Each structure stands twice: as structure tokens, then as C-alpha cells.
Amino acid sequence: MRLQWPNCLNVRDLGGLPTTDGRQIATGALIRSDNLTRLTDAGVEAVRETSVGRIIDVRTPPECEGDPSPFANDPIYRNMPLYHADDPYDATQTLDRQYVAMLDLNPDLIAGAVGAIADAPTGGVVVHCHAGKAGPGTWSHWP
């Protein structure tokens, strides 16, 4: 289900998606979005009204420095990059191959981000990168 957070372009509640054990992700438990840096004040308030307990920003530190999150100083925020800014990148690879390469190069970073979801406090978890990648060609580097 799409959510409306002013100035975010791609926010989705993943509630209702099936899990491997035949259940479903609970509504409001896991939200995927694009970069939160463009949020208006009303957008920041919309995030807070969603009862978010943790925000996981998977961008690299240089990306975060260039476009800081409005939540960067909030205890709910964690910067948990999935790759290093200088990791090799092959733009000719399909999106699924890019993710496999990312996992092969940085299993510890991926595990850290998953752990931050698993140990999140009460409330939903927002996971975001720069674009909230939905398909090939929407950004110039890693998802």
C-alpha cells in the first residue's frame, strides 16, 4: 500500500506481503521508502504519525553527509549502509545480480541492517535508500 509522506516519491507499507512460513507482514510493521531528506515539515510529522520505532537509512556515509536525514539526530535513526562507496559496480548487471554482488561483497553490512530491523523498538520500521528502488535505471549506483 502506498503512503503519502509530503515530498517522498516512493513510500510503501509492505504489510500484507507473504512470508516464507505462510503468514503475512503486518500492516505498518515494515515500510520501504526513497530518501527522507526531501520531506517537508508535514512529511516529517506524517512519518511520526505512522508510529515508526526505527528508521534505517541504507545509504553510504558520503550520501548521508550530502543529503542529511531530518531524523539524523533522533534516537529512532540508524545509518546502516549495505555497501561501501568504493565497492566495484557493474551498471550492465540486472538488479537481482547487483543485489547478489552486494551480498557477496558485504555480508556483514547486510546482516547489520537486518539485525537493526530485528531489534527495533516498538513501532514500524522504515528502510530507505536514495530512490526506494523499484526497477532498473532509476539511479546511477547501488540500490
Predicted confidence (pLDDT) per residue in 25-36, tens digit = 999 999 999 999
- Which pLDDT score, from 0 to 100, does residue 95 have? 83
The tally of CA atoms less than 13 A away on the side-chain side of residue 139 is: 16
Rounded-to-integer distance, Cα 25 and Cα 1, Å: 12
Average pLDDT, the chain: 88
- Which pLDDT score, from 0 to 100, does residue 132 have? 56
30-53 mean pLDDT: 94
Task: Give the CA angle between residues 122, 82, 93 to the nearest 5°.
Answer: 135
Predicted confidence (pLDDT) per residue in 86-110, tens digit = 888 888 988 889 889 999 999 999 9
- Which pLDDT score, from 0 to 100, does residue 141 have? 39
Biggest alpha carbon–alpha carbon distance for the chain: 41
pTM higher than the cut 0.75: yes
Rounded-to-integer distance, Cα 25 and Cα 89, Å: 32
